[in-house]
Chain A
Amino acid sequence: MRPVPGSADTAVELTGITKRFPGVVANDDVNIAVTRGHVHAIVGENGAGKSTLMKILYGMQRPDEGSIAVDGTTVSFSSPSDAIEAGVGMVHQHFMLAGNLTVLENVVLGSEPRKNGFLDAGEARRRIEEISSSYGLDVNPDELVEELGVGDRQRVEILKVLYRGAKILILDEPTAVLVPQEVDELFENLRELKSEGLTVIFISHKLDEVLRVADQITVIRRGTTVATVDPAETNARALAELMVGSELPSPETRESTVTDTPMLTVTGLTLRAVDGRPLLEDIGFTIHKGEVLGIAGVEGNGQSELVEAIMGMRRVDGQIRLADEDISGWSTRRRREAGIAYIPEDRHRHGLLLEASLWENRILGHQTQEPNVNGPLIDRKGARRDSQRIVDQYDVRTPSIDVFASALSGGNQQKFIVGREMSGEPVVLIGAHPTRGVDVGAQAAIWDHIRTARREGLAVLLISADLDELIGLSDTIKVVLRGRFVADVDPAHVTPEELGSAMTGAGAKA
């Protein structure tokens, strides 16, 4: 497991890296050797210490112990500019681009080639085109960044780093924001970079992707490196078990609990964008008591709009019925009071008040319901007691219910939201990516909670990018593409691969 020290083709070598924060050891004796011209993946659960490690390598933080060697020379970075100097560049998960500037302007920003004190646009363009063509990045330097798609923006970020002379690229969760086709394109780019002799460090927790693209995989668990493996000799399950350190649960639902009582019926739901493009077109389905309806689709094909329409956050044409009642004209609050629970896709935008305490977040979305209120007054005691119950039952790791929601890790925030939404015996759950960002252990617990509620008659609309989750939990799956349902799939007889191709419109039969 220990890297061979001083080997000539080692681009980066981390030896015995330890980083302590007050009371916490974020990294403990981390050892990684990255071979030149490799795509080296670093995988681990959320909070395993991947980000801290990369911040150390990129000069944003200093290690307490251990050493970093780049190209065989020991280095000590005190800022990212030192790292860039040494040829280490970072592509952040959240893009740092100015939308109202062109690609060229974004790339050169901060290291502009000058002629007589003015920007030498000709020289900049020449260099950008040279880099772009030699690595197959294919970006137009004159396009405005705000007009680019996510995949193109990411290429601009990569270009930015290459422009500054990086030979070693760190990509932090690069696929988190991409749709499958864009992921393919990114991987093509990475292979191109590799063949030109560049080294890529790829941080991820999506194991199937890592297996596809990496030459070497290092697994981190609880801040330390537990194994470095060859992707040809392992599989996703084995990797996941290394990450968690124990055997994995599976999302499979055992017996069907579907009844004939319709709980949520949607008919003819239609929504158009300002430019007339259909966002939702004639969407219709029925979810019965005890049924989980899964919606499969590449993100951005109408799922968010559908969820917001059902929650009453968007006006749409068509009818929504809850049991026997037409709720199309109801406000969001009335729908929630009627027992529709909502796990939003983006927990920071829609699910939490980050700078409010956990117990106040218990009230959010349930401002008119027991045990949070008493007439027009907030029932602090009730809300606090129930928050504590959620923290205990859903294993939310927090020292108290008085801390800000922002102090919790993403996975724990998600667990709290799930716990909150499952409170008060909802009749329908609209769950968008219910286990997104949650580690494997907590994922299983959330699945259990959903399954238990389903057995007791909960109707669930499940939207997920995790195809295993979708297949494992759903009783029926519908595939959505450009705002329409294009296929019905039986989860008992479908593989993730088949579902994946149906989602892109290939091989799907309407």
Chain B
Amino acid sequence: MTDDLIRRLADDLKPVRPRALQRLLLGALLLSGIVAVVTMLMLLGMRPDMETATTTMVYWTKFGYTLALALLGLAATLVLARPDGRTRWPWLTAIGLLGALLILAVIQLARADDMMPLIMGSSILRALTYIPLLSLPVLFGALLALRRLAPRNPALAGFAAGIMAGGTGAWVYAFACAETGMMFLALWYTLGIVMVGMIGTGLGRFLLRW
């Protein structure tokens, strides 16, 4: 019986390219990232003050922080997609980044006359709606790719995919978001990204079993 199986598997053998796993996950990320960008352009459009915004530090902090979280999520996903995958440095680095961002935010608050607009902004609900929404295509693509892989811990791999998706969604959303508070970024963007991470955890537990 097992001999039969071996024969069938050997007949079914197709070559696998080196780094096929990396290609698969990167391909899924790029494709779904494009979907997220198009969705953002259709639903929200770029922020109107784009030209002046790109000269500010807040804009580039938003750009860098979200992109960094997306890439850290990708790095974790690439490792956790394997049966023997364990990794910790992406999480520690992400926590370190959040710490650095909080320090910047406190410095900005200390210099400001009115703190509340920098913390609460005027679009918390908008951010917490659109960040997960724009992350969904990426999360979907990543989970679809991961289903062909073999994560040692399905829930954790789902979380990593969620952070990658959340970071990408937030990065895309940042082009449409005119908030200027670092603390707004540190609190609400992070919350939006972690929410997507939680969705990924829950879905991963069921969808990534093998």
Partners in one complex: no
A residues whose Cβ falls under 8 Å from a Cβ of B:
none
Residues of B within 8 A of A (CB): none
